[in-house]
Amino acid sequence: MNKEKKRIIDDRTILDEFVESFCKIIDKYVTYIICSGFVAIAHGRTRGTEDIDMIIEKISKKIFLEMHKSLIKNGFVCIQSDDPEEIFYSYLENGDSVRYVWDDEGYFPPEMEIKFPKDELDVEQLKLRIKLPLTKLDVYFCPIDYQIAFKEEWLRSDKDIEDAKHLRIIYEELINEEKINSIKERIRKLRLR
């Protein structure tokens, strides 16, 4: 195994603590995945981020209100609104994301950006969610093949391409190029038309 594959963060970071404490609450109410930049960061890639992206299954207002109440009780606050019904209807139900931060941090990063699934690809990732032992985090992530496909085909910024390269190195033996290409084709059909 090469040096790059052995690069794993041994020290806990503020992002690690934030993600685990947030996900511990969310997991009681809803199926979720962590996706995008934090996946590469959790695997030792050094780059800055202010937010962690989370997709949650579409839930009822009742469940959301209970989950929101629990987040508030445990020291988190939504930066868009204090009104949970507004958060649910004006943001989540409307296809927009909402951001939660630690209340005692004065609305500074890190932020958890939550959104409902955009399409069948997001729903599929939720069903296939996995824990990634190399991260040493007790949270659910999107599958690596999906992560790479989305970064290379949908997001495509320099930062995203570097994230995908990093994950390709870490998971070299497990990556399925055929599957990645199939996901990319579905991204083109569903999101790039």
pTM above 0.75, yes or no: yes
In a domain, 1, yes or no: no
* CATH code, domain carrying 24: 3.30.460.40
In a domain, 4, yes or no: no
Question: For residue 100, what are the domain limits?
Answer: 11-191
Burial of 6 (0-12, 13-18, 19+ CB in 10 A): exposed
User: pLDDT tens digits, residue range 55-82?
Assistant: 999 999 999 999 999 999 999 999 999 9
Residue appearing with tokens 């603590």: 17
In a domain, 60, yes or no: yes
In a domain, 6, yes or no: no
What tokens does 109 get?
Answer: 């990063």
Distance (Å, rounded) from C-alpha 116 to C-alpha 89? 12
In a domain, 165, yes or no: yes
State the total domains in the chain: 1
Per-residue model confidence (pLDDT) at position 4: 40
Order the strands of the 51-56 sheet from edge to edge. Answer: 32-35, 51-56, 111-115, 98-102, 76-78
User: pLDDT tens digits, residue range 136-173?
Assistant: 999 999 999 999 999 999 999 999 999 999 999 999 99
User: What is the pLDDT averaged over residues 95-114?
Assistant: 86
In a domain, 27, yes or no: yes
Distance (Å, rounded) from C-alpha 177 to C-alpha 182? 8
In a domain, 44, yes or no: yes
In a domain, 3, yes or no: no
Mean of pLDDT over the chain? 91
Contacts 24+ apart (CB under 8 A), 99-103: 99/51, 100/22, 100/71, 100/76, 101/76, 101/77, 102/18, 102/75, 102/76, 102/77, 103/72, 103/75, 103/76, 103/77
Percentage above 90 pLDDT, the chain: 83
**SS3 of 111, please?**
strand
